[in-house]
Amino acid sequence: MQDVTNDHEPVGGLRQRKKRATRAALAEAAIRLAAEHGAENVTVEAISEAAGVSPRTFFNYFASHDDAFVLIDEGVSERIREAVRAAPAELTPLEAVRSAFVGELKGFEERQELLNLQFEVFQRSPHLIVRGLHAYSSDERELARAIATWLERTSAGTAPAPVPTPPSTPGGTADPGQWAGADIPLFARLLAAVAHTAVRVTFEHWCARPADTDLAETFAEVFTHLAAGLRRPTD
């Protein structure tokens, strides 16, 4: 999103943190209102009022009404990519990605209620799934870029070149014409897809059994199966 991303400011800078907080507040307000009234019955004005901002501010963060219901936490995604790019060379590729996600597990636990509400909203408004898939694919593609950067750095033994920021449109989605991912190595794309699937399966399994399932243990088990080559379980 053009007004949220600033190439000259650190990812953890105060201004960026405030912008991410505002976007998160708008997205949370949208999801909670949609869970109660249905996405089609929630207006931009209602979302903005619930988040404590003006309707004009809403469009600094989202290109359209429907985009607000697609909650992608940019702060989490960028921290994961940073962790991948900085991963030690002695790790295997799967370990590098797993370690990057481990630090965000607590965040998943804290967002369980909101993510469950979002799932309900998507079930009631299937047209939102298309927008969700687009955002998910964009996030996965940028993880693949981070993996490719790490692979290059750890193979060559030199510092990586600066990672370019994808051109974006209001609402935070990359221009598919310019960033189709053709420049990303196949292995990096495959690993990013596997990692995203592993996280999704972990979260879905945990949400279905929150009383008797530990998120961190489930996550570790999923990656253990992957590291073993998905062999038949022995128990």
Break the chain into its structural domains and give their ranges.
1-71, 74-110+126-227
- Say if residue 135's pLDDT is above 70: yes
- Say if residue 221's pLDDT is above 50: yes
* Tokens representing residue 17 in the block: 């943190």
- Say if residue 156's pLDDT is above 80: no
Looking at this protein, which amino acid is placed at residue 224? T
* Tokens representing residue 172 in the block: 């935070």
E-strand stretches of the chain: none
Q: How confident is the model at residue 2 (pLDDT cuts 50, 70, 90)?
A: very low
Annotate 1-15 with DSSP letters as a single string. Answer: -TTT--TTS-TT-HH
Say whether 74-110+126-227 and 1-71 share the same fold.
yes
* Tokens representing residue 203 in the block: 């979260």
Tokens 């596997």 identify what position? 194
Rounded-to-integer distance, Cα 133 and Cα 143, Å = 15
Q: Which residue has the higher pLDDT, 65 or 2?
A: 65
CATH 1.10.357 is held by the domain 74-110+126-227: yes
Contact 74, 165 (CB under 8 A): no
Question: In terms of C-beta distances under 8 Å and separation of at least 24 residues, what long-range contacts does 20-24 make, across chains too?
Answer: 20/73, 20/74, 20/75, 22/51, 22/53, 22/57, 22/61, 23/61, 23/62, 23/74, 24/71, 24/73
- Please provide the average confidence, as pLDDT, over all residues in the chain: 81
93-123 confidence digits (pLDDT tens): 999 999 999 888 776 767 778 878 888 888 8
Q: What is the pLDDT of residue 149?
A: 95
Q: Could you give the C-alpha distances from 114 to 34, 72, 103, 109, 128, in angstroms and in order?
A: 12, 12, 20, 10, 16
176-188 confidence digits (pLDDT tens): 444 456 789 999 9
Fold (CATH) for 1-71: Tetracycline Repressor; domain 2 (1.10.357)
- Using the Cα atoms of residue 169, residue 171, residue 174 and residue 177 in order, give the sign of their dihedral: negative
The packing angle between helices 14-37 and 44-51, to 10°, is 130
Rounded-to-integer distance, Cα 32 and Cα 114, Å = 8
* Tokens representing residue 151 in the block: 């692979």
Rounded-to-integer distance, Cα 21 and Cα 26, Å = 9
Among 145, 153, 139, CA closest to 91: 153
